[in-house]
């Protein structure tokens, strides 16, 4: 069992990287009698950094697979999927003999039970042998890729109306309740799942995600330029409604379907799923619509003055996203960056760890290692925290309490739960 297994969300699990010191715990270390502080924690520094993020003119949040692991289902239902889960799902879908036959086609390659590497090899093979469409090996690999994509789509579809999404709800409540005079917060995610959409639905937050609000919801990049206001005959100026944020799905979504030239939001079988599947060609595929709109919006957001970028659950394994972040840090001197990830400190070293851990090796990921070196060199714009997505959400301050609309909807839900008649 790793250090994180079974641990509830708690800001106390966070460790902040302090230059010339190391990874220091969130809470103060108290004496045995609890009367005095033996070693200060980083709670004030963490809360100050996060408060500065939420008070920035432009708030940008980036999440990846790590945020999905904060969602939980009953044991009988699907759980959030990691790369190993996807590997098993594909193997189950195509059958062990057929799966092994495809792997044996690339016997000299180092696949290491990595579905992204396997699909990359398959796509390369199909491209190199594009004229051999009647060849048995070509047909086998082509059919395998199609079945694998279907299996991935089904495996990551784990969210329903009973899924626990407390961490996702907490995030959108804290970034979505900012004052209406500030720019709407922008949430970017590489996840296909519907965690944020379902959390927003439950708490009556409005999402601007590029889709129209008609009966058939159709994607159009111009919809990101729209906002939602409350019009009144007694006012000349528009009244911007609260609880609104932008959502950009960088790798597509479970409920996006391409039909002819349009992209619809639909859970039906019609059309082709709009997803960037795990393989090395993700960089090239991101330059096609609608992914180009999403990544373009991300890059533009990072160049805005007085911008804060909050990252959690993203492993910096996608160069087409990681490199623009590093470039923005180098070019935009007003950009503030907070990264929270459990990969900074190996879990095995956290058991019985001291208040401050000075001797922790740099992360294996080159981008995370680069940001750590910048902090060690005195870059005060960057804050690095070791912890999970749900721990970070627990530490985020609530700038505004529940709005009147949220309180009203909670009362309505309570009334309906008690069996009151509905209109």
pLDDT in tens, 115-139: 999 999 999 999 999 999 899 999 9
Say if 140 falls within a structural domain.
yes
Instruction: Measure CA 415 to chain center.
Output: 34
pLDDT digits (tens, 9 = 90+) for 142-161: 999 999 999 999 999 999 99
- Structural domain ending residue among the three candidates 99, 128, 155: 155
Claim to verify: residue 41 and residue 140 sit in the same structural domain: no
Claim to verify: residue 230 and residue 267 sit in the same structural domain: yes
pLDDT digits (tens, 9 = 90+) for 280-293: 776 677 677 899 99
And the tokens for 235?
């006012």
Claim to verify: residue 92 and residue 219 sit in the same structural domain: no
**Residue 422: pLDDT above 80?**
no
CATH number at residue 366: 3.40.50.1220
Higher-confidence residue of 309 and 267: namely 309
Claim to verify: residue 151 and residue 167 sit in the same structural domain: no
Mean of pLDDT values over 241-249: 94
pLDDT digits (tens, 9 = 90+) for 4-24: 998 999 999 999 999 989 999
**Residue 45: pLDDT above 50?**
yes
pTM score, two decimals?
A: 0.91
Q: Would you state the pLDDT for residue 417?
A: 66
pLDDT digits (tens, 9 = 90+) for 360-390: 899 999 999 999 999 999 999 999 999 999 9
Q: How confident is the model at residue 401 (pLDDT cuts 50, 70, 90)?
A: low
Q: How many domains does the chain have?
A: 2
Q: Would you state the pLDDT for residue 237?
A: 76
- Structural domain ending residue among the three candidates 110, 127, 155: 155
pLDDT digits (tens, 9 = 90+) for 340-351: 999 999 998 998
The whole-chain average pLDDT of the chain stands at 92
pLDDT digits (tens, 9 = 90+) for 92-110: 999 999 999 999 999 999 9
Claim to verify: residue 71 and residue 193 sit in the same structural domain: yes
Residue-range definition of the domain harbouring residue 124: 83-155
Claim to verify: residue 285 and residue 356 sit in the same structural domain: yes
- Structural domain ending residue among the three candidates 126, 155, 184: 155
Claim to verify: residue 330 and residue 281 sit in the same structural domain: yes
Q: Would you state the pLDDT for residue 1?
A: 45
**Residue 403: pLDDT above 70?**
no
């Amino acid at each position: 069992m790793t250090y994180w297994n079974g641990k509830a969300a708690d800001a106390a699990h966070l460790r902040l990287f302090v230059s010339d010191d190391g990874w220091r715990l969130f809470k103060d270390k108290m004496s045995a009698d609890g009367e005095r502080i033996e070693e200060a924690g980083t709670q004030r520094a963490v809360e100050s950094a996060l408060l500065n993020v939420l008070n920035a003119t432009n708030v940008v949040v980036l999440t990846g697979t790590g945020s999905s692991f904060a969602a939980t289902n009953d044991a009988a239902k699907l759980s959030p999927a990691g790369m190993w889960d996807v590997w098993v799902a594909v193997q189950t879908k195509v059958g062990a003999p057929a799966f092994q036959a495809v792997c044996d086609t690339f016997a000299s390659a180092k696949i290491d039970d990595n579905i992204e590497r396997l699909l990359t090899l398959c796509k390369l093979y199909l491209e190199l042998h594009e004229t051999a469409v009647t060849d048995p090996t070509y047909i086998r690999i082509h059919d395998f890729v199609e079945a694998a994509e279907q299996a991935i789509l089904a495996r990551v579809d784990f969210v329903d109306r009973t899924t626990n999404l407390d961490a996702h709800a907490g995030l959108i409540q804290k970034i979505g309740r900012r004052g209406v005079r500030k720019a709407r917060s922008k949430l970017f995610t590489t996840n296909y799942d519907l965690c944020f959409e379902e959390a927003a639905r439950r708490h009556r937050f409005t999402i601007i995600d590029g889709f129209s609000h008609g009966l058939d919801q159709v994607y159009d990049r111009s919809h990101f330029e729209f906002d939602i206001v409350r019009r009144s005959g007694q006012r000349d100026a528009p009244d911007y409604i609260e609880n609104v944020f932008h959502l950009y799905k960088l790798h597509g979504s479970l409920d996006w379907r391409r039909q002819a030239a349009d992209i619809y939001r639909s859970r039906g079988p019609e059309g082709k799923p709009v997803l960037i599947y795990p393989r090395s060609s993700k960089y090239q595929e991101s330059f096609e619509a609608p992914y180009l709109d999403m990544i373009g919006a991300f890059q533009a957001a990072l160049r805005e003055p007085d911008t804060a970028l909050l990252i959690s659950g993203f492993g910096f394994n996608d160069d087409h996203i990681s490199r623009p972040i590093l470039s923005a840090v180098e070019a935009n001197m007003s950009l503030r960056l907070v990264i929270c990830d459990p990969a900074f400190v190996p879990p095995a070293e956290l058991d019985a760890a001291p208040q401050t851990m000075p001797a922790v090796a740099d992360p294996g990921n080159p981008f995370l290692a680069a940001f750590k070196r910048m902090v060690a060199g005195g870059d005060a714009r960057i804050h690095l925290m070791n912890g999970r997505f749900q721990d970070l959400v627990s530490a985020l301050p609530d700038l505004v309490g529940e709005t009147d609309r949220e309180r009203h909807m909670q009362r309505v839900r309570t009334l309906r739960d008690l069996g009151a008649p509905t209109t």
